[in-house]
Amino acid sequence: MASSLTTVVQNARKLHTATVFFLHGLGDSGYGWAPETEKMGKALEHVKIILPNAPVQPVTINSGMEMPSWYDIYALGDTEDILKDRVDEEGVLSSVVSVNRLIRNEIDAGIHSNRIVVGGFSQGAAIGITVGISSEYPLEKTLTMATDANKNTPIFMGHGIYDQVVPFRLGKLSHDLIKSKGYPITFKTYNIQHSSSPEETEDVIKFLQQVIPENF
Protein backbone atom coordinates (compact mmCIF):
# COMPACT_ATOMS: atom_id res chain seq x y z
CA MET A 1 0.00 0.00 0.00
CA ALA A 2 1.30 3.46 -0.91
CA SER A 3 2.23 5.54 2.12
CA SER A 4 1.96 9.25 2.73
CA LEU A 5 5.38 10.80 2.30
CA THR A 6 6.97 13.36 4.57
CA THR A 7 8.67 16.21 2.75
CA VAL A 8 11.20 19.00 3.01
CA VAL A 9 9.70 22.16 1.49
CA GLN A 10 11.57 25.19 0.17
CA ASN A 11 9.00 27.87 -0.59
CA ALA A 12 9.19 30.18 -3.57
CA ARG A 13 10.89 33.50 -2.92
CA LYS A 14 8.47 35.35 -5.20
CA LEU A 15 4.96 34.61 -6.44
CA HIS A 16 4.70 30.81 -6.57
CA THR A 17 3.90 29.77 -10.16
CA ALA A 18 5.77 26.46 -10.52
CA THR A 19 6.78 23.47 -8.41
CA VAL A 20 9.78 21.14 -8.62
CA PHE A 21 9.83 17.75 -6.92
CA PHE A 22 13.30 16.31 -6.33
CA LEU A 23 13.61 12.71 -5.15
CA HIS A 24 16.77 11.61 -3.32
CA GLY A 25 18.73 8.42 -3.88
CA LEU A 26 19.00 5.19 -1.90
CA GLY A 27 19.70 5.64 1.82
CA ASP A 28 19.40 9.41 1.71
CA SER A 29 16.64 11.89 2.58
CA GLY A 30 15.24 15.15 1.31
CA TYR A 31 17.47 16.94 3.80
CA GLY A 32 20.54 15.52 2.09
CA TRP A 33 19.75 17.43 -1.10
CA ALA A 34 18.33 20.57 0.52
CA PRO A 35 21.59 22.59 0.26
CA GLU A 36 21.85 21.83 -3.48
CA THR A 37 18.22 22.63 -4.25
CA GLU A 38 18.53 25.80 -2.20
CA LYS A 39 21.03 26.99 -4.82
CA MET A 40 18.50 26.20 -7.54
CA GLY A 41 15.80 28.09 -5.67
CA LYS A 42 17.91 31.24 -5.60
CA ALA A 43 18.06 31.15 -9.41
CA LEU A 44 14.37 30.23 -9.72
CA GLU A 45 12.62 32.50 -7.26
CA HIS A 46 9.12 31.69 -8.54
CA VAL A 47 9.61 27.96 -7.89
CA LYS A 48 8.60 25.99 -4.82
CA ILE A 49 10.86 22.96 -4.31
CA ILE A 50 9.55 19.84 -2.56
CA LEU A 51 11.93 17.07 -1.48
CA PRO A 52 9.96 13.93 -0.48
CA ASN A 53 11.47 11.39 1.91
CA ALA A 54 11.39 7.76 0.77
CA PRO A 55 9.85 5.16 3.08
CA VAL A 56 12.22 3.00 5.14
CA GLN A 57 12.29 -0.62 3.96
CA PRO A 58 14.65 -3.62 3.61
CA VAL A 59 16.97 -3.46 0.58
CA THR A 60 18.13 -6.79 -0.86
CA ILE A 61 21.49 -5.62 -2.28
CA ASN A 62 22.38 -4.28 1.16
CA SER A 63 21.79 -7.64 2.90
CA GLY A 64 18.21 -6.74 3.75
CA MET A 65 19.22 -3.73 5.84
CA GLU A 66 16.41 -1.23 6.32
CA MET A 67 16.99 2.23 4.89
CA PRO A 68 15.16 4.97 2.97
CA SER A 69 14.40 3.46 -0.43
CA TRP A 70 11.84 4.12 -3.16
CA TYR A 71 11.76 0.39 -4.02
CA ASP A 72 13.77 -2.76 -3.36
CA ILE A 73 16.89 -3.34 -5.47
CA TYR A 74 17.77 -6.95 -6.19
CA ALA A 75 21.01 -6.52 -8.14
CA LEU A 76 23.30 -4.03 -9.82
CA GLY A 77 25.34 -4.55 -12.98
CA ASP A 78 26.65 -2.91 -16.11
CA THR A 79 25.32 -5.15 -18.85
CA GLU A 80 22.30 -4.72 -21.08
CA ASP A 81 20.65 -7.72 -19.42
CA ILE A 82 20.28 -5.77 -16.15
CA LEU A 83 17.50 -3.75 -17.80
CA LYS A 84 15.58 -7.01 -18.22
CA ASP A 85 16.19 -8.34 -14.70
CA ARG A 86 13.59 -8.71 -11.96
CA VAL A 87 12.28 -5.36 -10.76
CA ASP A 88 10.34 -4.54 -7.59
CA GLU A 89 7.27 -3.49 -9.55
CA GLU A 90 5.09 -3.27 -6.45
CA GLY A 91 7.58 -0.96 -4.75
CA VAL A 92 7.98 1.23 -7.84
CA LEU A 93 4.22 1.57 -8.29
CA SER A 94 3.73 2.33 -4.60
CA SER A 95 6.24 5.18 -4.78
CA VAL A 96 4.70 6.47 -8.00
CA VAL A 97 1.27 6.59 -6.34
CA SER A 98 2.71 8.40 -3.30
CA VAL A 99 4.46 11.02 -5.44
CA ASN A 100 1.34 11.50 -7.54
CA ARG A 101 -0.57 12.34 -4.36
CA LEU A 102 1.89 15.15 -3.72
CA ILE A 103 1.47 16.33 -7.31
CA ARG A 104 -2.30 16.31 -6.86
CA ASN A 105 -1.92 18.51 -3.78
CA GLU A 106 0.00 21.10 -5.83
CA ILE A 107 -2.61 21.03 -8.61
CA ASP A 108 -5.41 21.42 -6.06
CA ALA A 109 -3.53 24.43 -4.66
CA GLY A 110 -3.66 26.11 -8.07
CA ILE A 111 -0.42 25.10 -9.82
CA HIS A 112 -1.11 23.89 -13.36
CA SER A 113 0.27 20.46 -14.14
CA ASN A 114 2.43 21.86 -16.95
CA ARG A 115 4.21 23.98 -14.35
CA ILE A 116 5.32 20.94 -12.35
CA VAL A 117 8.69 19.21 -12.74
CA VAL A 118 9.56 15.82 -11.28
CA GLY A 119 13.19 14.73 -11.01
CA GLY A 120 15.74 13.17 -8.76
CA PHE A 121 19.08 11.50 -8.21
CA SER A 122 19.90 7.83 -8.89
CA GLN A 123 17.01 5.71 -7.56
CA GLY A 124 14.99 8.88 -7.14
CA ALA A 125 15.59 9.78 -10.80
CA ALA A 126 14.19 6.40 -11.84
CA ILE A 127 10.98 7.13 -9.94
CA GLY A 128 10.92 10.69 -11.30
CA ILE A 129 11.04 9.50 -14.90
CA THR A 130 8.43 6.82 -14.23
CA VAL A 131 6.10 9.41 -12.70
CA GLY A 132 6.73 11.85 -15.51
CA ILE A 133 5.92 9.53 -18.39
CA SER A 134 3.05 7.66 -16.71
CA SER A 135 1.17 10.43 -14.91
CA GLU A 136 -2.46 11.06 -15.78
CA TYR A 137 -1.63 14.76 -15.62
CA PRO A 138 0.16 16.37 -18.58
CA LEU A 139 3.30 17.31 -16.66
CA GLU A 140 5.20 19.61 -18.94
CA LYS A 141 8.62 18.29 -18.07
CA THR A 142 10.58 15.85 -15.95
CA LEU A 143 14.22 15.01 -15.25
CA THR A 144 14.14 7.77 -15.59
CA MET A 145 3.51 2.55 -18.58
CA ALA A 146 3.74 5.63 -20.69
CA THR A 147 0.63 7.69 -21.39
CA ASP A 148 -0.09 9.98 -24.31
CA ALA A 149 -0.60 12.86 -21.84
CA ASN A 150 3.17 13.17 -21.48
CA LYS A 151 4.44 12.05 -24.87
CA ASN A 152 5.93 15.52 -25.44
CA THR A 153 7.38 15.83 -21.94
CA PRO A 154 10.97 17.16 -22.16
CA ILE A 155 13.39 15.04 -20.14
CA PHE A 156 16.82 16.00 -18.83
CA MET A 157 19.22 13.21 -17.90
CA GLY A 158 22.75 13.69 -16.57
CA HIS A 159 25.26 10.94 -15.81
CA GLY A 160 28.82 10.79 -14.49
CA ILE A 161 31.14 8.93 -16.84
CA TYR A 162 33.09 7.53 -13.86
CA ASP A 163 29.98 6.36 -11.97
CA GLN A 164 30.75 3.02 -10.27
CA VAL A 165 27.33 2.60 -8.64
CA VAL A 166 25.10 3.06 -11.68
CA PRO A 167 27.57 2.49 -14.52
CA PHE A 168 27.56 5.00 -17.35
CA ARG A 169 26.63 2.25 -19.81
CA LEU A 170 23.32 1.76 -18.02
CA GLY A 171 22.57 5.47 -18.12
CA LYS A 172 23.23 5.51 -21.86
CA LEU A 173 21.06 2.43 -22.40
CA SER A 174 18.23 4.09 -20.44
CA HIS A 175 18.58 7.23 -22.54
CA ASP A 176 18.54 5.25 -25.78
CA LEU A 177 15.42 3.35 -24.68
CA ILE A 178 13.52 6.50 -23.73
CA LYS A 179 14.57 8.23 -26.94
CA SER A 180 13.48 5.24 -29.02
CA LYS A 181 9.97 5.68 -27.60
CA GLY A 182 9.82 9.18 -29.05
CA TYR A 183 10.37 11.27 -25.93
CA PRO A 184 12.35 14.53 -26.27
CA ILE A 185 15.31 13.78 -24.02
CA THR A 186 18.52 15.69 -23.38
CA PHE A 187 21.45 13.55 -22.20
CA LYS A 188 24.55 15.19 -20.74
CA THR A 189 27.69 13.64 -19.29
CA TYR A 190 30.01 14.87 -16.56
CA ASN A 191 33.51 13.99 -15.35
CA ILE A 192 32.25 12.75 -11.99
CA GLN A 193 31.43 9.52 -10.18
CA HIS A 194 28.08 8.79 -8.47
CA SER A 195 27.41 12.37 -7.44
CA SER A 196 26.49 15.79 -8.76
CA SER A 197 28.70 18.70 -9.77
CA PRO A 198 28.43 22.50 -10.08
CA GLU A 199 28.37 22.10 -13.87
CA GLU A 200 25.46 19.69 -13.71
CA THR A 201 23.57 21.92 -11.28
CA GLU A 202 23.97 24.84 -13.70
CA ASP A 203 22.67 22.69 -16.56
CA VAL A 204 19.64 21.68 -14.50
CA ILE A 205 18.93 25.32 -13.64
CA LYS A 206 19.13 26.27 -17.33
CA PHE A 207 16.77 23.42 -18.21
CA LEU A 208 14.28 24.54 -15.57
CA GLN A 209 14.49 28.15 -16.72
CA GLN A 210 13.49 26.95 -20.18
CA VAL A 211 10.64 24.65 -19.23
CA ILE A 212 9.12 26.60 -16.32
CA PRO A 213 10.16 30.23 -16.96
CA GLU A 214 9.12 32.91 -14.51
CA ASN A 215 7.30 34.81 -17.26
CA PHE A 216 4.88 32.70 -19.26
| pLDDT tens digits for range 10-30 | 999 999 999 999 999 999 999
Q: Which residue of the set 24, 135, 163, 175 is catalytic?
A: 163
The Cα-based distances of 87 to 52, 99, 114, 194, 199 in angstroms read 22, 19, 30, 21, 32
Confidence class for position 143, pLDDT limits 50, 70, 90: very low
What is the pTM for the complete model shown? 0.89
Q: Which residues contact 75 (CB under 8 A, 6 or more apart)?
A: 60, 61, 82, 85, 86
Q: Which residue of the set 94, 98, 113, 122 is catalytic?
A: 122
Confidence class for position 42, pLDDT limits 50, 70, 90: very high
Averaged pLDDT for residues 175-196: 90
Q: Is 122 a catalytic residue?
A: yes
3-state helix, strand, coil in the chain (%, to 5): 40, 20, 40
pLDDT tens for 65-83 read: 999 999 999 877 554 554 5
Q: Which residue of the set 112, 194, 196, 203 is catalytic?
A: 194
Q: Is 196 a catalytic residue?
A: no
Query: Residue 174: what pLDDT?
Result: 85
Q: Is 194 a catalytic residue?
A: yes
How many CA atoms are closer than 13 Å to the CA of 89, on its beta-carbon side? 4
Smallest Cα–Cα separation from 211: which of 143, 124, 134?
A: 143
Tell whether the model's pLDDT for residue 137 goes beyond 70: no
Confidence class for position 183, pLDDT limits 50, 70, 90: confident
